[in-house]
Amino acid sequence: MNDRELLNLARDAAKNAYTPYSNFPVGAALECEDGSVFVGCNVENAAIGNTICAERVAITKAVSEGYRNFKRIAIYGDGQNYCMPCGTCRQFMIEFSDEIEVLSAKTGGRYVSYKLKDLLPRAFRF
Ligand code: THU
């Protein structure tokens, strides 16, 4: 699967986002080493801190299905800025590999890509 196809899955996943508070739908598409893809969207909550980001939904779906080897994640947010993963999601992802490639897209589909280890240098580990 190429970058554009993975980004399209992320964009489609954003359609299921539950965002009555921010009105900012986000979609993520996580590609595993074997080519399997898990998608996620953000799910908000009246107790705002309970909100879960699209990336963590995709990762928890994958892990709960027995997948732990991740290659790339595409993130789509319909905004003027590239939709970069928040700090919590960076730490959540780096648990599994610091080599994950992160593709962050904005309205219109333009995107940037980074290695996760460059987005979270010296991550917490014990
Ligand atoms: N959000 C994500 O789903 N992923 C990110 O990488 C950044 C933020 C969500 C959380 C919240 O529902 C909305 O975007 C606004 O912060």
Which DSSP state fits 109?
S
Task: Return the closest-CA partner of residue 100 out of 31, 52, 34.
Answer: 31
Whether 126 maps to a domain, the answer reads no
Whether 28 maps to a domain, the answer reads yes
Q: Say if residues 39 and 27 touch (Cβ distance below 8 Å).
A: yes
Is 26's C-beta closer than 6 angstroms to any atom of ligand 1?
yes
Whether 103 maps to a domain, the answer reads yes
Whether 124 maps to a domain, the answer reads no
Q: Atom 2 of ligand 1 has which residue's CA nearest to it?
A: 53
User: Can you list the alpha helix ranges (DSSP code H) found in the chain?
Assistant: 3-13, 54-64, 87-94, 116-119
Residue from 39, 42, 76 to probe ligand 1 pocket by mutation (most atoms less than 8 Å from CB): 42
Whether 125 maps to a domain, the answer reads no
Q: What is the pLDDT of residue 24?
A: 97
Tens digit of pLDDT at every position of the chain (126 positions): 999 999 999 999 999 999 999 999 999 999 999 999 999 999 999 999 999 999 999 999 999 999 999 999 999 999 999 999 999 999 999 999 999 999 999 999 899 999 999 999 999 999
34 vs 70: CA distance, rounded Å: 9
Whether 88 maps to a domain, the answer reads yes
Whether 107 maps to a domain, the answer reads yes
Q: What is the pLDDT of residue 70?
A: 98
55 classed as catalytic: yes
- Write the CATH number for 67: 3.40.140.10
In the chain, how many domains are there? 1
Q: Atom 4 of ligand 1 has which residue's CA nearest to it?
A: 53
Q: What is the pLDDT of residue 7?
A: 98
Residue 48 lies in domain: 3-119
Is 42's C-beta closer than 6 angstroms to any atom of ligand 1?
yes
Beginning with the edge strand found earlier in the chain, give each strand of the sheet holding 70-77 in spatial order.
37-41, 26-32, 70-77, 101-105, 111-115
pTM value?
Answer: 0.97
24 vs 31: CA distance, rounded Å: 23
Q: 62-79 burial, b for 16+ CB within 10 Å, e for fewer?
A: beeeebeebbbbbbbbbe
Q: What is the pLDDT of residue 38?
A: 98
Is 89's C-beta closer than 6 angstroms to any atom of ligand 1?
yes
Whether 73 maps to a domain, the answer reads yes
